C-alpha cells in the first residue's frame, strides 16, 4: 500500500526561517508556490531586495537563482483569493499571517505598502489581525 505524502504546510516554511539549523525547505507544488509568491511580493514591494530578505528567501527555495526567481514572480499578480482557497484551515491561515510577518519584517522595517498587503491578507483569510511586531 502506497502512502501519500502529507501536503506542504505554511509551518514548514516558518520552521526553516526560525531555525537556521534546519535544511532549506524545497517543497514543490501549488501550495509552496503560492506561499513563495506571497513572500516575494512582500520582499519586493519596495522594489529593493535587502540582503536579509534574500537570505530568508533562500531558505524556502529549491536550488535555483533567487534573483531570477524574484524577477519572474514579482512580475505576476499576487493572488490572495487563490491562497485562501488552497489553505482553508484556520491554523494554516494563522501560520500564513506569521509567515507574511517574517517577510514584511525581513529588512527590519515595515513600510506602508507591506502593512496594506498584511491587512488585505488578514481580511481575505478571515483571521483576527495579529499585532505587527517583528517575529
Residue 26 has pLDDT above 60, yes or no: yes
52 neighbors 106 (Cβ within 8 angstroms)? yes
| Mean pLDDT of all residues in 5-28 | 90
Question: Hey, what's the cell of 99?
Answer: 509567515
- Residue whose entry in the numeric block shows the C-alpha cell 507544488: 29
Domain segments of the chain as ranges: 10-125
Cα R_g (the chain), whole angstroms: 14
The contacts of residue 132 (CB under 8 Å, 6+ apart) are 101, 104, 110, 115, 118
pTM of the model: 0.86
The tens digit of pLDDT for each residue in 44-78 reads 887 777 788 888 888 998 888 888 888 889 889 99
How far apart CA 72 and CA 20 sit, in angstroms, is 26
- Residue whose entry in the numeric block shows the C-alpha cell 524577477: 71
66 neighbors 58 (Cβ within 8 angstroms)? yes
Amino acid at each position: 500500500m502506497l502512502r501519500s505524502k502529507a501536503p506542504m504546510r505554511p509551518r514548514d516554511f516558518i520552521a526553516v526561517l526560525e531555525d537556521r539549523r534546519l535544511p532549506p525547505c524545497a517543497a514543490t507544488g501549488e501550495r509552496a508556490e503560492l506561499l513563495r509568491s506571497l513572500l516575494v511580493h512582500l520582499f519586493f514591494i519596495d522594489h529593493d531586495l535587502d540582503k536579509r530578505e534574500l537570505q530568508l528567501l533562500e531558505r524556502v527555495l529549491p536550488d535555483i537563482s533567487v534573483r531570477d526567481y524574484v524577477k519572474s514572480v514579482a512580475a505576476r499578480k499576487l493572488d490572495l483569493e487563490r491562497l485562501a482557497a488552497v489553505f482553508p484551515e484556520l491554523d494554516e491561515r494563522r501560520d500564513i499571517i506569521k509567515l507574511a510577518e517574517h517577510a514584511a519584517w525581513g529588512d527590519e522595517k515595515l513600510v506602508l505598502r507591506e502593512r496594506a498587503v498584511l491587512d488585505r491578507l488578514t481580511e481575505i483569510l478571515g483571521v483576527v489581525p495579529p499585532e505587527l511586531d517583528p517575529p
